[in-house]
């Protein structure tokens, strides 16, 4: 190639604008210049668009500068047979004279890969360095054959970091106002960076939201991106499997079968095909696609067939919600997967940073995590919070959940104590007291088996906190109410809780005097199955809603708890005295219809005694109420005698019976009568 040819000019431009891959290029250069190298095959692999071909071309330019004789075979234009491969080499000169052999698109080798390993390469001269670029890692035979252990070097090409991506765009003269959004959207993939830069250069729109690189607004760009990344037009069944892969946090064979409603054998075949794709990563939970591919597939599906997208979303949401509610093994993974589906909504997606959250792993904290967890809490919430968190750890270590990234590093923490009625020796926590007081004032005190889930502190990723909370909302036995706190710096978490229909409550003050926002959900009136069904509809609407409107909000009681208890006591005491009973304050509550007569209220009181009798430990309490008030007027001494109790014991049990009846009546007022 002459110095004044177009090829030489292009090579000069490649050298000038080549970005990143410093370590990989250094390795190839050292091997090329080394006299006694043990390794003579370098296998570069990575997903489509990650820059393998560009790196090979850049290395070829450097080889020519150093006077090395090279041959290059691109399997996209070469038939995968020994004869075609040899012909492609010989067309460039005698193969034995080459010092460097570059093979691009080696994923298309197929059976020829075995021929290269067993026949062709062993016959080549010792001075030959072979560099192979492939979307796939070398076959297992390369890695298990002892003669190739030192002769072959695997190098996986990963995405560019943000600095390298920004430099690539700067070399393309992309304005800084556009570059930041492009870097974020491209997820470090050089092919995508180049496509989006080209779209920006040829766009007539101003830079900003909705510009050419916004995938949802650029169907032609998405089509071109997918064509280059997939290099094939998948069958309808495979296309559907790709859409499951794009929607789900992680994809398993069972998920493919359930989402697509296909036989086991078909699900096995589709899942096996997904595993072969270069942009799919296998994890302990299942398959995870590259984030850009995920976004492109979803944008393409929404644009082409919105009805199919919504149908697939509903099937996945219903299946994951059902599996999570079953409280079987793997609840953290199911909870994370259900919450992750929410990112399909553009409103939810914009409320928080979802990058990398598909690789988060949730688990209960272990004793060895304590120092890390407390340090994170102190850093985000202050020293006083760390001291109080330690008290909660000593009282309830099961309340601590951690999130780990794909490398096993703890990146987030959630502290969620579960409070049962009459729990003792709890930390002196002002937020806990405020939550219990709220329940007393606005609804009713906790009673067995109801529990209060107190989301006390969270650190790190807001999305991870939502993963954990979704799991706990579904799997906490006897959950009555959840109360989640956020600080002024946790806007993403507050937005997500609001979008997920958690009802804002009055702010509370933390230990250091800082105000906390609170989000409340009464799960007695909105069971998890009902909540998640309403949520799936809300997510598909894909539009912002008023911040104060929950998915389903129970009605607030009109009468404070203390007044309500007194009204219940008065009603039972006066049930046999029509004139007094007709003025019962309970007639003004939602226990009865607005125009109901006293007889309707008497029926409610009788049904409450029946309900109390059916509860564990409630038979004696129900008998005392019936003996004292419902089976005819009698003195308390006579009632105690009939109940076969001492008078002091009877008085204590009667007081307990009235308060318990008030709790049942308050629940009936809020949530309606218990079905028979």
Q: Is residue 421's pLDDT more than 80?
A: no
User: What pLDDT score was predicted for residue 358?
Assistant: 92
Over the stretch 338-365, which tens digit does the pLDDT of each residue have?
999 999 888 898 899 898 899 999 999 9
Q: What is the DSSP string of 385-417?
A: HHHHHHHHHHH-GGGEEEEE-TTS-EEEEEE--
On whether the CB atoms of residues 65 and 160 are closer than 8 A, the answer is: no
Over the stretch 429-448, which tens digit does the pLDDT of each residue have?
999 988 888 776 655 666 66
Question: Which one has a higher pLDDT value, 596 or 454?
Answer: 454
The pLDDT mean for the chain works out to 87
Q: State the residue for tokens 């967890």.
A: 373
State CA 343 to chain mean position distance: 8
User: What pLDDT score was predicted for residue 550?
Assistant: 39
Alpha helices in 145-215 (DSSP H): 162-171, 176-186, 190-201
User: What pLDDT score was predicted for residue 376?
Assistant: 96
The three-class DSSP label of residue 659 is: helix
Q: State the residue for tokens 């006591």.
A: 569
3-state helix, strand, coil in the chain (%, to 5): 55, 10, 35
Q: Which residues lie closer than 8 Å to 666 by C-beta, 6 or more apart?
A: 443, 444, 557, 561, 564
Nearest to 439 by CA among 509, 518, 510: 518
Average pLDDT of span 628-644: 83
Over the stretch 521-557, which tens digit does the pLDDT of each residue have?
988 878 899 899 989 988 988 776 544 333 444 445 5
Average pLDDT of span 12-19: 70
Alpha helices in 18-69 (DSSP H): 22-33, 52-65
Q: What is the spatial distance between Cα 213 and Cα 221, in angstroms, rounded to a whole number?
A: 8
Q: At what angle do helices 264-276 and 236-247 cross, to 10 degrees?
A: 70
% of the chain with per-residue pLDDT over 90:
49
Average pLDDT of span 79-93: 94
* DSSP 8-state secondary structure symbol assigned to residue 482: E
On whether the CB atoms of residues 24 and 55 are closer than 8 A, the answer is: yes
Q: What is the spatial distance between Cα 252 and Cα 258, in angstroms, rounded to a whole number?
A: 10
Peptide bond into 449 cis (omega under 30): yes
Phi-psi region of 444 (alpha: psi -120 to 50; beta: other; left: phi over 0): beta
User: What pLDDT score was predicted for residue 248?
Assistant: 96
User: What pLDDT score was predicted for residue 70?
Assistant: 94
Which token pair is 134? Answer: 């492939």
Q: Which residues pair with 21 in a beta bridge?
A: none
Q: Which residues pair with 402 in a beta bridge?
A: 363, 413
pTM for this model (two decimals)? 0.79
Residue 261 CB neighbours (<10 A): 9
Q: What is the spatial distance between Cα 617 and Cα 295, in angstroms, rounded to a whole number?
A: 55
Over the stretch 147-159, which tens digit does the pLDDT of each residue have?
888 899 999 999 9
User: What pLDDT score was predicted for residue 212?
Assistant: 42
């Amino acid at each position: 190639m002459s110095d004044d040819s177009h090829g030489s000019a292009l090579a000069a431009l490649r050298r000038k604008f080549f970005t990143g891959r410093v370590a990989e290029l250094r390795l190839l250069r050292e091997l090329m210049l080394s006299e006694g190298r043990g390794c003579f095959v370098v296998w570069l692999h990575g997903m489509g668009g990650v820059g393998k071909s560009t790196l090979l071309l850049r290395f070829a330019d450097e080889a020519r500068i150093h006077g090395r004789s090279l041959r290059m075979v691109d399997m996209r234009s070469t038939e995968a047979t020994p004869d075609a491969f040899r012909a492609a080499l010989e067309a460039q000169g005698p193969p034995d004279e080459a010092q460097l052999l570059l093979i691009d698109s080696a994923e298309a080798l197929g059976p020829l890969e075995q021929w290269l390993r067993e026949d062709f390469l062993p016959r080549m001269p010792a001075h030959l360095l072979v560099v192979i670029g492939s979307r796939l890692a070398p076959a297992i035979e390369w890695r298990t054959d002892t003669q190739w252990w030192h002769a072959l070097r695997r190098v996986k090409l990963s995405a560019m970091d943000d600095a390298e991506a920004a430099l690539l765009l700067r070399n393309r003269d992309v304005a800084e106002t556009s570059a930041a959004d492009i870097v974020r959207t491209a997820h470090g993939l050089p092919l995508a960076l180049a496509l989006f830069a080209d779209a920006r250069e040829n766009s007539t729109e101003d830079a900003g939201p909705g510009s050419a690189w916004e995938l949802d607004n650029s169907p032609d760009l998405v089509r071109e991106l997918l064509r280059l990344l997939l290099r094939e037009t998948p069958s309808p069944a495979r296309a559907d499997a790709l859409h499951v892969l794009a929607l789900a946090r992680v994809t398993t064979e069972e998920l493919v079968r359930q989402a697509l409603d296909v036989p086991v054998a078909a699900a096995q075949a589709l899942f096996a095909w997904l595993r072969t794709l270069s942009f799919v990563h296998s994890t302990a939970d299942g398959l995870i696609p590259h984030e850009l591919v995920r976004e492109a597939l979803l944008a393409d599906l929404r644009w082409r067939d919105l009805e199919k997208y919504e149908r697939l979303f509903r099937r996945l949401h219903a299946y994951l919600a059902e599996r999570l509610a079953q409280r079987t093994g793997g609840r953290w993974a199911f909870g994370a997967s259900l919450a992750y589906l929410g990112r399909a909504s553009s409103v939810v997606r914009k409320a928080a940073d979802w990058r990398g959250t598909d690789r988060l792993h949730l688990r209960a904290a272990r004793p060895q995590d304590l120092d890390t967890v407390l340090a994170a809490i102190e850093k985000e919430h202050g020293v006083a919070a760390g001291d109080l968190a330690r008290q909660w750890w000593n009282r309830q270590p099961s309340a601590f959940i951690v999130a780990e990234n794909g490398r096993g590093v703890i990146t987030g923490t959630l502290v969620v104590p579960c409070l049962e009625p009459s729990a003792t020796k709890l930390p002196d926590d002002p937020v806990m007291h405020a939550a219990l007081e709220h329940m007393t004032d606005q609804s009713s005190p906790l009673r067995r088996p109801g529990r209060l889930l107190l989301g006390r502190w969270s650190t790190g990723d807001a999305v991870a906190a939502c993963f954990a909370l979704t799991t706990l909302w579904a799997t906490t036995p006897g959950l009555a109410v959840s109360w989640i706190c956020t600080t002024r710096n946790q806007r993403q978490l507050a937005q997500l809780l609001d979008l997920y229909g958690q009802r804002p409550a009055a702010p509370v003050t933390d230990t250091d005097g800082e105000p906390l926002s609170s989000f409340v959900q009464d799960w007695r009136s909105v069971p998890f199955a009902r909540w998640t069904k309403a949520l799936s509809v809300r997510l598909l609407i894909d539009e912002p809603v008023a911040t104060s409107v929950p998915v389903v909000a129970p009605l607030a009681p009109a009468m404070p708890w203390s007044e309500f208890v007194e009204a219940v006591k008065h009603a039972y005491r006066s049930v046999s005295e029509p004139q007094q009973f007709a003025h019962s304050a309970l007639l003004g509550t939602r226990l009865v219809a607005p125009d109901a007569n006293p007889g309707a209220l008497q029926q409610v009181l009788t049904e409450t005694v029946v309900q109390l009798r059916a509860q564990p430990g409630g038979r004696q309490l129900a008998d005392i109420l019936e003996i004292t008030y419902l089976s005819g007027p009698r003195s308390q001494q006579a009632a105690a005698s009939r109940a076969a109790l001492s008078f002091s014991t009877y008085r204590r049990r009667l007081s307990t019976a009235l308060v318990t009846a008030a709790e049942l009546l308050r629940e009936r007022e809020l949530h309606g009568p218990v079905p028979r």
